[in-house]
Structure 1
Amino acid sequence: MKKTLLLLALAASPLAAFAGEDTPPVSPRLGYGAHFGFNLGGALPRSVPSTVERIHHFDPGFGLDLGLDVSWRLGAPSSPWRLCSGLAFEGRGFYTSISARDMPVRYQNTDFAEQHYTGYQSVDQSNQALTLPLTLSYDLSTRWSLQAGGYYSHLVDRQFTARLDGDGLMDGRIYQRETILPFAIGHMQVRNELGLLLGADCRLDENWGLYGRLKLGMTRTFQRSFEVMPYALFPTYLSLGVNYTLRR
């Protein structure tokens, strides 16, 4: 994480140079700034699986969202259209606990093709990613703007642990009495992720503003060769925070 934050700091140095008094003039089309906020969400199925009887708890994680933003105004200097990008460091994670009934568990070896688990289970994910967005922004007014486009993320750290209650039933029999069985499967997560990005910005004054970003991953959380889980998970996150614009 320290190396990642150092990378962002080095990338920010040109912004400070642009802000200096002795620098050459910058194109009026170019905008730049920074943002700070939090990610809420997790690796989620497209719909609640039929094998999930009850969701006991869901913690969206509140991962850090810290980044640099650049934009290029399209057309005339007064045009409402801008092409936006940047670089962000993101913490992503969540925790959930559920009660499952007859949930298929598919093994990666040849001992068992599939078993069915009924009982209590939990999932804990904690990832770190570098994200490169690319969106088209439209100014609705001097205060509000909307964004739509996509993003690419590279996971620099992958942690994902699933836990089963041993007092649950595996194929109708007690699995492993009075035991919690953890399965660390973070290494089976994909490193490179593509997705859709939708967002909105609210300008508070000349420099400060609020932002919201919805990231809908189109890449599965786990590699396709990983078939233990009976359904696919996709990264789904809402980012909320403040942004600071040095040049609009």
Structure 2
Amino acid sequence: MKMKWIACLLLGMTALGSQAQQNQTSILKRVRQKGWELDLKAGINIGGFSPLPLPVEIRSIDSYNPTLAVQLGLDITKWIDDSRIWGITSGLRFENKNMTTRATVKNYGMEIIGGDGNRMKGNWTGGVRTQVQNTYLTLPVLASWKASPRWILHAGPYFSYLLDGTFSGDVYEGYLREGDPTGDKINFTNGAVATYDFSEHERKFQWGIQVGADWKAFSHLKVYTHLTWGLNDLFEKDFQTITFAMYPIYLNLGFGYTF
């Protein structure tokens, strides 16, 4: 008797699961018939924050490491014509934009934190290590064009909100001129370093342009790439320590599942 009840229970659960799957399939089918398309995407960001053009204060880029920067998101496309050639794509994505660099600079605006905790501001000449680890919530608003049954091209603006950000590093093997390029000279040699942290001066809102393409590998699987180019400075307007604007420029590579 007990085995009979267990068998009935398993049979009922199987039937409910099958019915739920059928209902889900039916809903997705109706959504697609109305011209909507949903893509769940995952990828990595490769790039950095850079001034354009490279200012004279930066004499050389000695090393660059993009570090691991992931992106997860949901894209929603509404095809606006019967042939489903043109559409509008939006959605939300959670993404990291990171980098670590080493550079040699001259008269580079800097505010360092000494070993005693005191802050010194002026112009730095020597080595600079910079680490950026930013997390954004991003909303793209893109025009989409289906160039062929497998290729879809996208272009348009994006808008990002900084959820958590770090812009910090250290200076080494050089000297600081306090106040201005003719101020008192403070040397950092023989392995001496001083840190800096500009995280609290990062701008909360970023916006820029995104262009990219999706390639349909299988009926539900896409491979995609897009380039995002920020159009406003990483730092707040009243932040004057770094005297040039820095823009996020990132290439994203990943895959997506189409529902």
1:230 aligns with 2:230: no
**Which residue among 67, 71, 75 is the counterpart of 1:65?**
71
**Which residue among 191, 205, 208 is the counterpart of 1:192?**
205
1:240 aligns with 2:247: no
**Aligned partners of 2:80, 2:26: CA distance in 1, in Å?**
27
1:169 CA drift (Å) = 2.0
**Residue identity matched to 1:173:** K
Per the alignment, in what secondary structure is the counterpart of residue 175 of structure 1? strand
Structure-2 residue corresponding to 1:160: 167
**Aligned partners of 1:96, 1:50: CA distance in 2, in Å?**
17
Contact 2:76/2:91 (CA < 8 Å) preserved in 1? yes
Contact 1:41/1:61 (CA < 8 Å) preserved in 2? no
- For residues 121-140 of structure 1, the aligned pairs below 5 Å read 121-140=128-147
Structure-2 residue corresponding to 1:175: 187
Which one has the largest radius of gyration? 2
1:47 CA drift (Å) = 1.7
1:80 CA drift (Å) = 0.8
1:79 CA drift (Å) = 2.9
Deviations 1:72-113 (A, max 9, x none): 00111x231010011111011100000112324479xxxx99
**Aligned partners of 2:185, 2:43: CA distance in 1, in Å?**
46
**Which residue among 20, 24, 30 is the counterpart of 2:24?**
20
1:119 aligns with 2:132: no
Contact 1:105/1:230 (CA < 8 Å) preserved in 2? no
1:214 aligns with 2:200: no
Deviations 1:161-186 (A, max 9, x none): 03111x30223834344421111111
**Aligned partners of 1:81, 1:23: CA distance in 2, in Å?**
23
Q: 1:146 to 1:34 in 2, by over 3 A?
A: same
**Residue identity matched to 1:75:** D
- Give the RMSD, CA atoms, in angstroms: 2.4
Q: 1:147 to 1:23 in 2, by over 3 A?
A: closer
Structure-2 residue corresponding to 1:33: 39
Equivalent pairs, count:
225
Contact 1:189/1:223 (CA < 8 Å) preserved in 2? yes
- TM, length-normalised to structure 1: 0.83
Higher helix share: 2
Deviations 1:50-93 (A, max 9, x none): 122211101123311111111000111x2310100111110111
**Aligned partners of 1:60, 1:99: CA distance in 2, in Å?**
18
